[in-house]
């Protein structure tokens, strides 16, 4: 089955790209997943969200955290999140171990790569909500703060349907984040961020970009007729500690080692 063949022609990071990531805190990769794989992942993604709409197991980040399924499903604005797709779907679990993706992450994170978590972030057509300006590590509180995320889109993404927007160089300084005024599910740095300096990363379906866990980023509401289905893998080095628990994040089914070279 061609769909399990994974990525397009092998992409390796050049030393200039690694330097650019270190300087700017992100890197646009471009087309990464081949069209057969994108088709397969779209079907599985839609199936998981359909099941989630019926039975729960997702959050609508546009509204306050709640288990009320009707409230989540019927909210006017929909910024939908399924955490750990890898625990419910083998195709997304397989993607965690994709050598091409790990080869992109290794020069940035080192040879031993552990999963922090993955997530699907879905902005439906016409009423997809924003993800406000934030640094991921303001949510996570991990040390060392050197996690790397691979953000992939299953649809063409541009500024109008929720492409990633980032502030270059912002990963060098952690910031305190207030809760959003509109939803307690999100943090929001609001207009303390100079959004005029933002870079928009347009990507084709199957495209990818990498960002550091302190790089400021934002995605706009989706008011177009096109959906925007994103899947993100957050990678860390073994020995990362969560300041929420005060504990090292142990290797487990939920936090597997994805690559080990020792």
Ligand X SMILES: O=C(O)CCC(=O)C(=O)O
Select the residue interacting with ligand X from 78, 89, 149, 180 (CB under 6 A).
Answer: 149
CA dist., res. 207 & res. 227, Å (int): 15
230 contacts ligand X (rule: CB under 6 A)? yes
106 contacts ligand X (rule: CB under 6 A)? no
CA dist., res. 134 & res. 214, Å (int): 8
Neighbours of 5 (CB within 10 A): 9
21 contacts ligand X (rule: CB under 6 A)? no
Instruction: CB nearer to ligand X: give 89 or 221.
Output: 221
Instruction: CB nearer to ligand X: give 162 or 206.
Output: 162
Instruction: CB nearer to ligand X: give 3 or 30.
Output: 30
Q: Which residue has the tokens 């994103």?
A: 230
78 contacts ligand X (rule: CB under 6 A)? no
- Please, what is the minimum distance in Å from the beta carbon of residue 2 to ligand X? 27
CA dist., res. 124 & res. 81, Å (int): 11
Instruction: CB nearer to ligand X: give 111 or 190.
Output: 190
Neighbours of 223 (CB within 10 A): 13
95 contacts ligand X (rule: CB under 6 A)? no
Each residue 160-189 as x (binds ligand X by CB under 6 A) or -, in order, gives --x---------------------------
121 contacts ligand X (rule: CB under 6 A)? yes
Half-sphere exposure of 132 (CA within 13 A, CB side): 22
Closest residue to ligand X using C-beta atoms: 219
Q: How many residues bind ligand X (CB under 6 A)?
A: 10
Instruction: CB nearer to ligand X: give 113 or 131.
Output: 131
Closest residue by Cα to residue 128 from 159, 164, 82, 162 = 162
212 contacts ligand X (rule: CB under 6 A)? no
Contact 129, 78 (CB under 8 A): yes
151 contacts ligand X (rule: CB under 6 A)? yes
Contact 111, 76 (CB under 8 A): no
Strands 247-248, 217-219: pairing kind:
unpaired
Closest residue by Cα to residue 131 from 99, 176, 166 = 166
- Please, what is the minimum distance in Å from the beta carbon of residue 261 to ligand X? 26
State the residues that interact with ligand X by CB under 6 A.
Answer: 121, 131, 136, 149, 151, 162, 217, 219, 230, 232
């Amino acid at each position: 089955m061609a769909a399990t063949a994974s990525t397009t022609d092998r992409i390796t990071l050049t030393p200039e790209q690694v330097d650019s990531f270190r300087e700017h805190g992100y890197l646009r990769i471009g087309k990464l997943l081949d069209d057969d794989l994108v088709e397969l992942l779209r079907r599985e993604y839609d199936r998981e969200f359909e099941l989630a709409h019926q039975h729960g197991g997702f959050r609508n980040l546009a509204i306050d955290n709640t288990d009320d399924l009707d409230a989540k499903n019927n909210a006017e604005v929909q910024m939908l999140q399924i955490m750990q797709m890898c625990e419910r779907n083998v195709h997304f679990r397989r993607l965690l171990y994709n050598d091409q993706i790990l080869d992109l992450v290794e020069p940035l994170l080192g040879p031993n790569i552990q999963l922090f978590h993955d997530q699907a972030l879905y902005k439906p057509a016409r009423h997809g909500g924003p993800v406000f300006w934030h640094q991921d590590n303001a949510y996570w509180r991990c040390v060392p703060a050197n996690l790397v995320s691979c953000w992939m889109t299953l649809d063409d993404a541009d500024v109008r349907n929720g492409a990633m927007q980032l502030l270059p160089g912002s990963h060098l300084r952690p910031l305190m984040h207030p809760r959003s005024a509109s939803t307690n599910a999100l943090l929001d740095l609001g207009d303390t961020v100079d959004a005029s300096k933002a870079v928009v990363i347009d990507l084709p379906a199957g495209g990818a970009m990498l960002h550091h866990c302190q790089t400021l980023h934002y995605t706009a509401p989706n008011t177009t007729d096109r959906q925007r289905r994103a899947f993100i893998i957050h990678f860390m080095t073994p020995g990362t500690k969560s300041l929420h628990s005060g504990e090292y994040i142990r290797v487990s089914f939920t936090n597997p080692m994805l690559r080990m070279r020792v």
